[in-house]
Amino acid sequence: GKRILDELRPPHLCGLAGAPSTTVMGSNCSQNCCREEKTLSDPTLQPHAACKGIDSLDASSTRYFDRELPELERLPKGGGDVEQRPRFDFQTGAHYTGQWRGSERHGFGVQVWPDGASYEGEWCENHASGRGRFTHSDGDTYTGEWKMNMASGKGIYHYRDLTTYAGEWCNDLQDGYGVETWAEGTRFEGSFRSGQKDGYGLYLWPDTSQYCGSFRANAINGVGTYVGSDGRTFKGSWKDSGIHGAGHYVWPNGREYSGQYVLDTKDGFGVFVWPDGLRYEGYWSQGRQHGCGRLCLQDGTFRQATWRDGQCEWECPAVGEEAAAPPQA
């Protein structure tokens, strides 16, 4: 059936709100440190139409190149030299004009199918092999190298002037290094495996946001760096195009979070720092402070407390920095 080249959905990065007061630790710190940013600039892409493989099928036929094989096998066998022959009309409605060797299409030739699809290029023993151009009935084209009726080697696939892939192919699938671009400016450069983005790559959005790092199964997976168009950055671990694992998030105004994430939310031990030097060290759950934590003030003192769902439940008086150690991750 049709092979689908899935589009990569963009990462959904979490954010934090503005800095709280530096003189109290109660609900203000809890609310400001935990609620999500409402003005994220991370781009949202519209879904792209599927880019089908070059061996596209209609609803009732086998692969294009296989349709005429039964009729070709019934032709008188023969060898000899490669020769140019007049147009040959198949019972399927397709027709071929080009070179033959005996009963085999061999050399350069053009075949056109009843639905308007066509192949123009090199043939070897009845197979598209060498360099050629296949045009789908809907206007999609693949131009490049072929082996045994399949795209293999280097080639360019144009999908209705919306998407273009230029790179390496193996058995009709993107495989190796390639560059995929979309009409609105999105671009991916990197490694493909069996038709999917897999390995190291660079993904660029139209607003200049970018991700550089590891991909697996057409999604951001592994370690990589995201840089937003507004200057925010995240370096760390990803899973299924979301932040997952350890990472370091820096906002344009100087705020930072270093710690654990689970499915795009802060979860585990983490440290949040404001530009004025205020710092929260402690545990998080589902994006909120939860468990032991402390607020380190600019004068070197800190306030130790217990948190639940982002709310401070118990607080110690301010003490010197040397009075206690930070909670262990």
- For 210-249, how does the pLDDT look when each residue is reduced to its tens digit (9 = 90+)? 999 999 999 999 999 999 999 999 999 999 999 999 999 9
The reply to whether 206 falls in a domain is no
pLDDT score at 34: 38
The reply to whether 191 falls in a domain is no
Q: Which residue has the higher pLDDT, 262 or 78?
A: 262
pLDDT score at 20: 24
Q: Is the pLDDT of residue 160 over 90?
A: no
Strand partners, 89: 95
Closest CA to 15 of 166, 233, 201, 174: 233
pLDDT digit string (tens) for 121-158? 999 999 999 999 999 999 999 999 999 999 999 999 99
3-state DSSP call for residue 179?
strand
d(CA 5, CA 16): 35
Q: Which of 8-12, 93-97, 194-198 has the lowest mean pLDDT?
A: 8-12
Q: Is the pLDDT of residue 6 over 50?
A: no
pLDDT digit string (tens) for 276-295? 999 999 999 988 888 889 88
The reply to whether 60 falls in a domain is yes
Please give the torsion angle defined by the CA atoms of residues 56, 59, 62 and 65, in that order, rounded to the nearest 10 degrees: -40
Q: pTM score, two decimals?
A: 0.76
Q: Please give the share of the chain, as a percent, with pLDDT higher than 90.
A: 62
pLDDT score at 133: 97
pLDDT score at 307: 82
The total number of structural domains that make up the chain = 1
The reply to whether 22 falls in a domain is no
pLDDT score at 94: 97
The reply to whether 328 falls in a domain is no
Q: What is the CATH number of the domain that holds 171?
A: 2.20.110.10
Q: Is the pLDDT of residue 45 over 80?
A: no
CB atoms within 10 A of CB 103: 15
The reply to whether 81 falls in a domain is yes
Q: What is the H or E stretch that residue 74 is in?
A: helix 69-74
Task: Kindly state the average pLDDT of the residues 303-308.
Answer: 84
pLDDT score at 315: 67
The reply to whether 70 falls in a domain is yes
Closest CA to 55 of 148, 181, 126, 121: 148
The reply to whether 209 falls in a domain is no
Task: Kindly state the average pLDDT of the residues 186-200.
Answer: 96
Residues spanned by the domain of 133? 52-183
